Amino acid sequence: MIAPDLQERLRAVRHLVVFTGAGMSAESGIPTFRDRAKGLWAKVDPAEVATPHAFKKNPQFVWDWHVHLADAVSRARPNEGHAAVARLQEFVPRVTVITQNIDNLHQAAGSRTVIELHGNLMRLKAFVDVDELFSGDASPVICRICNGYAIDDELDPYAGPEDLAAIELHAGSVPHCPACGALLRPDVVWFGEPLDPGMLDDAFLAAETCDALICIGTSLEVEPAATLPWRALNRGALVIEVNPVSTQLSQSASASLSGGAAATLPLLLQSVWGSVAR
């Protein structure tokens, strides 16, 4: 499966980054984005459901689409690939998982350090309309429980974080923050929005200082996440790709393993560390 010299280098790795995309969770029943027939973006234009502009125009439509996705996510369980990623912690002193997925499955499988570059579908936050925020005369204050903005005397002083925590992503009208009244939205990164800068710095640093990076189930179509394997390669790290199809990385990677995550990752662990998947 993997050349003996690469196996040896992997056994010596002190800091391993595992970088994942939608293909990681495909065998858990969550559709990928760009599969030509069944991918999420084959069924709907992302501009209609995954941008701040779309939410501003039709919040209910965007909310309902995320509720539908959350249905698949809440039914999904980690697959053998997620389990294998978590088992890497038994063999490598430091493992950092950097995921573009918003489904919580790495954490559910037991991975302890997970950077969620594109957020988490099950968390909510206030929708901040940046144009409106800077257009009015009154100076807005930041709502203490949702980080949205409000005019001071609009804030409900009796609402607390527990009221916000009780609100979940489920079917029905788009909920509002109990303190400031802002519309709530899933805490995911939509097109045109920046990634959390602290998280992005951590991800860049991990990729640029690790000894090896395993890139699993991503088409590498979306920046800045897609730069991570190249950042690792440029610093001399070993880069292994796992994907049933080849990508722009395949030719440059130290090894490119063609196959699905659920079958390939346990085999990789077995061939390098003699681990049998549980």
Compare residues 46 and 110 and give the one whose CB is closer to ligand OAD.
Answer: 46
Work out which of 13, 16, 17, 26 binds ligand OAD, going by CB under 6 A.
26
Residues 178-197 within binding reach of ligand OAD (CB under 6 A): 189
Residues 202-241 within binding reach of ligand OAD (CB under 6 A): 216-219, 221-222
SS3 call for 274: coil
Active site annotation includes 82: no
Q: Please, is 170 exposed, middle or buried when counting C-beta atoms within 10 Å of its C-beta (0-12, 13-18, 19+)?
A: exposed
Q: How far apart are CA 244 and CA 198, in angstroms?
A: 32
CA distances from 13 to 88, 239, 249 (A): 11, 12, 21
State how beta strands 119-126 and 149-150 pair. Answer: unpaired
| Residue 266 engages ligand OAD in binding (rule: CB under 6 A) | no
Compare residues 80 and 150 and give the one whose CB is closer to ligand OAD.
Answer: 80
State how beta strands 119-126 and 184-188 pair. Answer: antiparallel
Work out which of 175, 178, 260, 266 binds ligand OAD, going by CB under 6 A.
260
Residues 187, 193, 195, 196: is their CA dihedral positive or negative? negative
Q: By rule CB under 6 A, what string of x and - marks binding of each residue 90-129 to ligand OAD?
A: ----------x-----------------x-----------
Active site residues: 118
Enumerate binding residues for ligand OAD (CB under 6 A).
Answer: 21-23, 26-27, 32-34, 39, 50, 100, 118, 189, 216-219, 221-222, 242-245, 247, 260-261
